[in-house]
Chain A
Amino acid sequence: MGAILELAGVRKSFGALRVVDDLSLTVAGGELVGIIGPNGAGKTTLFNLVTGDLRADAGSIRFLGAEIRAAPPHERCRRGIGRSYQIPQPFGDMTVFENLLVAATFGASMSEGDANAACAELLDRTGLARHANALAGRLTLLERKRLELARALATRPKLLLLDEIAGGLTEHEARELVALIRAIKATGTTMVWIEHVMHALVAVADRIVAINFGAKLAEGPPEAVMVDPEVRRVYLGIEV
């Protein structure tokens, strides 16, 4: 399968601060790419440029072959780009099921009947079925993280961008999450995953891209990137 996402020469500055610096990145269909890097390296900004939350200053962003750099976020979502946020932001006064319905209805343009069926199935897949009628604002951190993932899936993404979904989970909970990510990958969904919990990322990533100061520091199979001296020096902090 060919490239699903192609970034070429992408730049983004906030005032004098250059956050993404001439970055090029290609993600193949069905691939799971992990993104690592120091705090402030530009990882989440990169996601924001792909989803349209932010506009790139320069460069090209192609999704399924089409240039999307100028498209608004809702259009990119309907084309098939879904995402989760670092701090889950559910509609707290709506139930878990209603939160999913919003995503399915507005993100995937599903009819009411289709949305109901798809969301019920998603609740089962993500282990949220027994919380279907709970108010989202009352969920624990783990449940909110699961809802964040389920909500992104409800938009029927071809490309799913995950931003630190394993942080704050116990080892056991992280293992369950990895199993869920594997199941999503098996359905053919392409994923890019920003994560500091390395054991979770290394368990499923096909490839890892390390970035620093908005540019690529290293790229390759997880086992190669984890032993890269520069990655160890600026990110992992293990003396070499």
Chain B
Amino acid sequence: MSALLATHGLAAFYGDFQALFGIDFAIHAGEAVGIIGANGAGKSTFLKTVTGLLPAAPERIVFDGRPIGGLPAAAIVRRGIAMVPEGRRLFPSLSVEENLLIGGYAKRAGPWTPARVYELFPALRELRALPGNALSGGQQQMVAIGRALLANPRLLICDEISLGLSPLVVQGLYQTLPAMMREGLTVIIVEQDVGLAQRTTSRLYCFQEGRVSLQGASSELTRTAISAAYFGSTAA
């Protein structure tokens, strides 16, 4: 089976600074794959490159059999990739519900509607008419997740999805993940809680200094191997 998303020798730069060095990555339809690594390892840069926020050569990123490297972000959303960005980034002048509806702007068909998002996050239902910036940080994170789901993506990319959410909500979110995947969603999860990443994904990639330092089945990677892949063999 060919991968839903694959990168081949993907590099990324900020000006003269090279942040990614030849990343080979693949995720198949229906999989949940985790990306772990220290801050500054290149995880967010990788996600920005895949979603069209940073430039890439077309063939370096292949989605559903077609090259997408360097396409505008909006075109990539229309192909079926949505991201929950780090830092939430809601539209402050729009209401909660309008923020959610913006996620559906690409008009892709699928199971996600605002009503379903309110089932997932009941706290948002009574707040739906308020401006996005009137919500607490954690509630804004819920809106950011809902907005990405309303794009009805084939591939959902979650950058630190649990940031700012209470332990109870994080637990609920990860419990909902299997149901979402049964509806055909494929998920890339960037997560700092290594134990949580291991429990919720089938495979893990560990990034270190812009390279893949370790990859394998989540259940088979040992803490020692992960620790070494995080910090390099000398510091582990």
Please report A residues at the B interface, Cβ cutoff 8 Å. 14, 36-45, 86-87, 138, 140-143, 164, 167-173, 196, 198, 234-237
Contacts and interface: CB of A to CB of B under 8 A. Distances in A.
Given A168-B192, A169-B192, A39 B167 contact: no
Given A142-B39, A168-B163, 19 more contacts: A38-B166, A38-B168, A39-B169, A40-B135, A40-B136, A44-B137, A45-B136, A86-B164, A140-B39, A167-B163, A168-B39, A170-B194, A170-B230, A173-B38, A196-B165, A198-B167, A235-B167, A237-B167, A237-B168
B30 interface: no
B166 A164 contact: no
Interface string B69-89: 000000000000000001110
B166 A37 contact: yes
Contacts of B168: 38, 234-237
Interface of B: 14, 38-40, 44, 86-88, 123, 127, 134-139, 141-142, 160, 163-169, 171-172, 192, 194, 230-231
B40 A39 contact: no
Contacts, number: 88
A171 B38 contact: no
B39 A40 contact: no
A237 B171 contact: yes
Given A142-B39, A171-B194, A196-B166, A39 B86 contact: no
B88 A87 contact: yes
A215 B39 CA distance: 35
A42 B40 CA distance: 32
Nearest to B40: A140
Given A40-B123, A234-B168, A237-B172, A170 B192 contact: yes
B12 to A, nearest CB: 14
Contacts of B14: 138
Contact of A86 (B44, B137, B160, B231): B137
B87 A87 contact: yes
A37 B139 CA distance: 13
A39 B136 contact: yes
A111 B123 CA distance: 48
Nearest to A145: B39
Contacts of A40: 123, 127, 135-136, 138-139
The 6 closest A-B pairs by CB, nearest first: A39-B138, A237-B168, A142-B39, A140-B40, A40-B136, A237-B171
A43 B165 CA distance: 13
Contact of A39 (B39, B142, B160): B142
A68 B133 CA distance: 26
Contact of B39 (A138, A169, A196): A169
Contacts of B160: 167-168
Contacts of B88: 87
B166 A167 contact: no
B45 to A, nearest CB: 10
Contacts of B141: 39
Contact of B166 (A45, A140, A173, A235): A235
Contact of A164 (B87, B164, B169, B172): B164
14 contacts: A37-B166, A39-B136, A39-B166, A40-B127, A167-B163, A167-B164, A168-B192, A169-B39, A170-B194, A171-B192, A172-B230, A196-B138, A198-B167, A235-B168
Nearest to A85: B137
Contacts of A164: 137, 164
A39 B194 contact: no
Contacts of A168: 39, 86, 160, 163, 192
A198 B87 CA distance: 21
